[in-house]
Structure 1
Amino acid sequence: MENEFKKVMSERTDQELIKIVTVERERYNPTAIEAADLEIEKRNIDTAEFEKIKEKATVDKEQKQKVDSNVVGSGTRFINFLIDFFVWLVLASLIIFIIGLFVPVITENQGILTLLVYILFFGSFIGYYAIMEIKFQKTVGKFVTKTKVVTMNGEKPENGEIIARTFCRLIPFDRLSFLVVKNGIHDFLSKTKVVKDTAE
């Protein structure tokens, strides 16, 4: 009887095959491993390349496990949210107050004034999270709870990833997603995590 995994393994890249028969071996059943071994033999993959890919995959796996073991729970995330919400509210109120001193309040322009207040509120929200996390990998809340934002493999996120993360916070029900999973919607979409800051 022909191995049912033969076709599947023939479609995998060399790197994927090597990962399957080495660092991910325990995740596959023996028949799949046999098909992967046969495909590796058939392709005559260089053993030097094999060792290099195996080594990199092992390091990546260990790094991911280390990051996953440091991911903080919903309680810490909620504390971060409360602190950051308060800080942002104070910041937004100060900005609106200062701008209000320079912009005359004319009753006929209530619509424009309301629009300006909304722009300042959202602008300060985006600015607070984006600037803090780009510069420090943390907000005031994360400083207090000794946590920080990292990529899936534990590295410092790129500016674009932080900006995407910040805008994803505006998605309705994003805050509620932490009641169900450790990584909420804005983490999932920006491929980031919040972990304990072991450097502190």
Structure 2
Amino acid sequence: MLEIRTYPLGPIQTNCYLIFNRDGECLVIDPGEEGDRIIAEIEKTNGEPLAILLTHSHFDHIGAVDRVRNHFDIPVYIHEAEQAWLGNPDLNGSSRYPGLPLVRNEAADQLLQEGELKIGSFRLEIRHTPGHSPGSVSFIFHEAQLAVVGDTLFRGSIGRTDLPGGDTRTLLQSIHDNLLTLDDEFIIYPGHGPSTTPEEEKDMNPFLNGFS
């Protein structure tokens, strides 16, 4: 049994997820902003944070990485294709928006590749789902039938592909091969907005109709 909590944070309301298991262990996914709030929410639960997992490294998903990492002394995981992005505002996009702070984090502690990942009592599958960015990944928790997919797929929409490294056809292929193949009952948790299911997106998402 897993419990997932959603926190829309920062000026773009990026979803940060805290996932707890029955042992009280916690994974932090995409701490994009408001690091002190994330820390306070974890400490209220008396949970044990084990790691920070990043679906990708655009600035709105990584702004509080070092604040949370250093407070709890936990490792950060990111796909190997974006390992240089955490500390580079030109790559993570924070330099594109005047008035927003430049995001510079220390290097990740672990690099993700496709396949099974075990952290504490958590077991999950890493699926590489590029298209929105080169190193976008989705975290698939099979037993709980939930997937955290970053900015790959939204309810009724898909991630933008006009940023560096984005590609529309690659994104659509990632969605069809890696997300719509999940059981229809899976709950998909995106980087922004409400959750959805593969069944709902196959039926209703206009961006996916007719793709082959």
- What TM-score results when the alignment is normalised by the length of structure 2? 0.23
> Structure 1 or 2: larger helix share?
1
Q: Which structure has the larger Rg? A: 1
- What TM-score results when the alignment is normalised by the length of structure 1? 0.24
> Structure 1 or 2: larger strand share?
2
